[in-house]
Structure 1
């Protein structure tokens, strides 16, 4: 029998990404086999080391050998797909305003790096197509449709960009689309039936029912929750309906180690090195 214990996790950064009061994990060392099979997802790129959702952060994720870079896709005023987490540019650029109210040209004038460090001064907001063209074949791409309810037709535009590049039926399954807006994922799955899709879930889904899991599994391949609701029982139930789980967002070595112990399928992290450098790596 496996013995389970709980630990208090560190508080996370701002922007609504919080951690659980506790995660239950099995005792014992982590095997090298467990380490090697764990999928390492660089959250908004390696955002602990470079300004999030910039080409610098994505390249850092590739350099750190992450299996995927995670990107947030929104739409400009003139209908261009851009990479930005917040629905405004205020926090991560020297500009102000809602993404949907700015043209691509206006956003391209902004500095998206200085807020993080002067080392990254001049980093630009990338377009979705720029990211695809630069990193296709170099790493997996976990695409989040961010607030798609604000951008009618965004699913079709994303699908069009992927289809134009013949990236809508990848043999290596290294292209995944996810969103907190589950109806958007159902739409995207209809447009791109050969691509895996995922549902993102916040803390309010701690009591997800078996019926809800079965409904998700009808169109989603991944059930990706905040780490605040991850338990061994939930992982077993998700696996039982054929979905995988990549919890978000690990920001400490301790959190990564606990997620390893829980036997999740992947870890979404600001620090990819935590997934490859956890306390059990030499066991």
Structure 2
């Protein structure tokens, strides 16, 4: 049995490394080795991974919402579903980008000062500020929902949210081999690595000094993803990161995503060409179609 598993893993690594376009068949890694292979920098890919920022909200579909995740999953063949985790006053982990409830729901006050009994009754707002019938999910519910689907989980552990509780939930849901945890500081990433070594981590690579510190870190470089600045950097910047075996993620949410499609199309393509292995966007369906069409022409 051990021989069979090793053989299948080797086949996965080879097929994934040679895959030019991320697709649903290579979006369900079965172990830690496979998710590391999935994110290994591959200069032969003809399309980037598409990260759905806050799940990929749209009119009628709020951010950090299960219905929104389902919509994105139906539109993108291998999405990276990014979502945000915070903790309620009574220590329940829930999905929300902001602590202020007014931002994404019909609630008032701070999430961190509200109990789950209050939070679960709120209705979420879509990107136009319209109240929808959708409710705020718990972190456990979101993990259970995504565990059954072809997607990679990009978990944004918001500042102040206890790492130990988040790691315990990931372990309990048995999704570590399909997850990437965003950390806001190198010391947090090193803490996670010490306590749960078989977990992919994402860190900010915004300045030369940060890259130098990460290079010296004990974290294996093949289990890191670089969150790079929104503006295109010099070729040597991406080369330095790629030489470490690390894939680069570049966000277009809040800037390029707000432009007319005729103008934004070339900017998405330009960023992939510059060195972005992953594009984090509020419009995953639109961006995925751009690269699918480009790949088909070639």
Shorter-chain TM-score tier: 0.7 to 0.9
Q: TM-score, normalised by structure 2?
A: 0.72
Match of 2:184 in 1: 180
Match of 1:280 in 2: 294
CA distance in 1, matches of 2:92, 2:239: 40
Deviations 1:60-103 (A, max 9, x none): 22111242100111111010111111121121111122221111
Structure 1 residue 180: deviation in Å?
A: 2.1
Match of 1:191 in 2: 195
* Runs of 4+ with deviation above 6 angstroms: none
CA distance in 1, matches of 2:44, 2:152: 22
Q: Is the 8 A contact 1:41 1:267 kept in 2?
A: yes
Q: Is the 8 A contact 1:81 1:128 kept in 2?
A: yes
Determine if the alignment matches structure 1 residue 157 to structure 2 residue 151: no
Structure 1 residue 162: deviation in Å?
A: 1.7
* Aligned counterparts, 1:26-105, within 5 A: 33-35=45-47, 38-48=48-58, 50-65=61-76, 66-105=78-117
Match of 2:124 in 1: 112
Q: TM-score, normalised by structure 1?
A: 0.76
CA distance in 1, matches of 2:44, 2:240: 25
| Greater share of residues in helix | 2
**What secondary structure sits across from 1:53 in the alignment?**
coil
- Return 5+ residue gaps in structure 1 as ranges: 1-30
Structure 1 residue 126: deviation in Å?
A: 1.0
**What secondary structure sits across from 2:104 in the alignment?**
coil
CA distance in 2, matches of 1:81, 1:233: 40
Q: Is the 8 A contact 1:46 1:57 kept in 2?
A: yes
- Return 5+ residue gaps in structure 2 as ranges: 1-42, 258-263
Structure 1 residue 52: deviation in Å?
A: 0.9
Determine if the alignment matches structure 1 residue 270 to structure 2 residue 282: yes
Structure 1 residue 124: deviation in Å?
A: 0.9
